[in-house]
């Protein structure tokens, strides 16, 4: 009986060892698969993310890493002569990021896709900005620990018939004096064409609407209007582009539901934009059309430096990486004194839509 017991014990140990070995093989296989989907190792480390895989912070970091990889691969496939410079950076106050930038390609003048995962103490200026949006933040000894992560991208093509595209999806968490955590998601995807192409506008908006509709039919109209209102250059009386969706401070109905919505939006980035690039990247264009693109780029710069919330937050956060924050700016832009396009021109047509936003999908 004792020998039988020993044999059984040995058999169980062998089974346990085999199971552990299989699990290790599975772990290594999964890690390798994840590495192939990412542009660089994640800021929090792959092991840590997998260990905390049920935590929303880990799932969000995996999502932004995957989104970065998907978008970079899709863009690189359209511009085979160019490649992304992959730059990982650390922030001494906590966290870091991965910047992927392609410059001077055949198709893209500048395309950047950034991931950042940062933590530390919120600066007074950043806290003031948040309170001005209605956040009641109770600091402990003047300190507010925070964690912020997101993926953001701006793509400036060479051809004036290919629109500029921007997207950003982010998650924010703040710990208040009593230990309670405030959290919210924000983000959006929007299109800035130099010339209006109705077919492109409809495709772009329709793809985003489908992503929203999976969750709630009220979301697209609400976030489309928010986008038109947010990307407004007040001193020019015009929008930055033809919109898309935009939302911020979203913390209901539940963390899981908002995360799933954000995931659907992130997955819509490639299908809403890449077909438009493919359709127009070989279109012919004139020097006058290139000049108009440069003037529109000037407007893009004005919005980003004067109004954009993300740019402002980045510039106000101690230890933030200025190169990554200003990656959204084009390589080239132009400001001409008193430039007004002729009436009934293609240039005047896009201005009309920028001044009076259209409903593209109804």
Give me the number of domains the chain comprises. 1
Residue 81 has pLDDT above 60, yes or no: yes
Do the domain assignments include residue 142? no
126, 316 contact by CB (below 8 A): yes
Per-residue pLDDT tens over the stretch 212-255 = 999 999 999 999 999 999 999 999 999 999 999 999 999 999 99
Of the residues 161, 166, 203, 205, only one is catalytic, namely: 166
Looking at residues 60-67, what average pLDDT do you find?
A: 96
Report in angstroms the alpha-carbon separations of 111 from 164, 196, 280, 328, 346.
9, 21, 17, 8, 26
Do the domain assignments include residue 8? no
- pLDDT confidence of 70, banded at 50, 70, 90? very high
Do the domain assignments include residue 219? yes
Looking at residues 303-332, what average pLDDT do you find?
A: 87
Do the domain assignments include residue 42? yes
What pLDDT does residue 181 have? Answer: 83
Do the domain assignments include residue 281? yes
Do the domain assignments include residue 11? no
Q: What is the mean pLDDT of the chain?
A: 90
What pLDDT does residue 5 have? Answer: 59
Catalytic residue at 235?
no
Per-residue pLDDT tens over the stretch 160-176 = 999 999 999 999 988 87
DSSP 342: P
**CATH code assigned at 204:** 3.40.1500.10
Q: φ and ψ at 272, to 5 degrees?
A: -80, -25
Name the CA radius of gyration of the chain, rounded. Answer: 23
Do the domain assignments include residue 141? no
Degrees, nearest 5: CA angle 151-94-317: 70
What pLDDT does residue 235 have? Answer: 95
Do the domain assignments include residue 12? no
DSSP 341: P
Residues linked to residue 172 through DSSP beta bridges, in sequence order? 148, 184
Residue 135 has pLDDT above 90, yes or no: no
195, 289 contact by CB (below 8 A): yes
Task: Give me the domain span that covers residue 202.
Answer: 37-120+148-355
């Amino acid at each position: 009986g004792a020998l039988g017991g020993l044999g059984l014990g040995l058999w169980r140990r062998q089974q346990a060892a085999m199971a552990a070995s299989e699990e290790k093989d599975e772990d290594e296989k999964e890690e390798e698969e994840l590495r192939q989907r990412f542009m660089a190792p994640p800021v929090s480390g792959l092991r840590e993310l997998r260990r905390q895989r049920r935590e929303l912070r880990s799932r969000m970091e995996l999502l932004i890493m995957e989104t970065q990889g998907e978008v970079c691969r899709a863009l690189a496939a359209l511009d085979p002569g160019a490649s992304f410079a992959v730059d990982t950076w650390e922030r001494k106050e906590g966290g870091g990021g991965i910047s992927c930038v392609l410059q001077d390609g055949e198709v893209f003048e500048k395309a950047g896709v950034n991931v950042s995962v940062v933590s530390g103490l919120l600066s007074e200026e950043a806290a003031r900005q948040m309170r001005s949006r209605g956040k009641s933040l109770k600091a402990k000894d003047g300190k507010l620990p925070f964690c912020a992560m997101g993926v953001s991208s701006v793509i400036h093509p060479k051809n004036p018939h290919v629109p500029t595209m921007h997207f950003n999806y982010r998650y924010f968490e703040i710990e208040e004096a009593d230990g309670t955590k405030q959290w919210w998601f924000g983000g959006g995807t929007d299109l800035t064409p130099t010339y209006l192409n109705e077919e492109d506008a409809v495709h772009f908006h329709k793809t985003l609407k489908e992503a929203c509709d999976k969750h709630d039919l009220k979301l697209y109209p609400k976030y489309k209007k928010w986008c038109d209102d947010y990307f407004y250059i007040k001193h020019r009386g015009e929008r930055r582009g033809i919109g898309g969706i935009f939302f911020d401070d979203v913390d209901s109905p539940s963390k899981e539901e908002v995360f799933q919505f954000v995931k659907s939006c992130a997955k819509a980035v490639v299908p809403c934009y890449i077909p438009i690039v493919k359709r127009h990247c070989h279109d012919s264009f004139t020097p006058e059309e290139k000049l108009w693109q440069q003037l529109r780029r000037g407007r893009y710069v004005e919005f980003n430096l004067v109004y954009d919330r993300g740019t402002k937050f980045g510039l106000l956060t101690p230890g933030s990486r200025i190169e990554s924050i200003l990656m959204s700016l084009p390589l080239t832009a132009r400001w001409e004194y008193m430039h007004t396009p002729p009436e009934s021109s293609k240039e005047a047509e896009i201005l009309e839509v920028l001044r009076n936003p259209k409903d593209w999908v109804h």
